[in-house]
Amino acid sequence: MLALSRKINESIMLGNDIEISILEIKGDQVKIGITAPKSVPIFRKEIFLQIEEENKNAVAQEQSRETIEQLFKF
């Protein structure tokens, strides 16, 4: 992993169209600004990991198809 030191209001470019800026530093919290094309999804890693895990949970289910279909018979 590449580690770079940056001061407040300095930034880093990823490629030529993604900019990561340090906006504010308060104690152990850093406020980061991200400028990127709209097609680049940006989310907190916790959310990303939870969604990965939930997809895996959906795959891992052990009920039979019939049991699940029964739940959706209205």
Partner 1 sequence: MKVSTRYFGEVDLDESKVITFAGGLFGFEEYTRFALLFNSEAEERPAISWLQCIDEQSLALPVMIPTIVMPDYNPVVEDGVLEELGDWNEENISVLVTVTVPKDLKLMTTNMKAPIIINTDNMKGVQVVVENTDYQIRYKIYDILNSAKEGKEED
Q: Which amino acid is it at 12?
A: I
Shorter beta-carbon distance to partner 1: residue 10 or 53: 53
Binding mask 51-70 for partner 1 (x = CB under 8 A): xxxxxxxxx-xxx-x-xxx-
Buried b or exposed e, range 41-71, using 16+ CB within 10 angstroms: eeeeeeeeeeeeeeeeeeeeeeeeeeeeeee
Judged by CB under 8 A, the chain residues 12 through 51 that form the site for partner 1 are 37-41, 43, 47-48, 50-51
The site for partner 1 (CB under 8 A) is made up of 37-41, 43, 47-48, 50-59, 61-63, 65, 67-69, 71-74
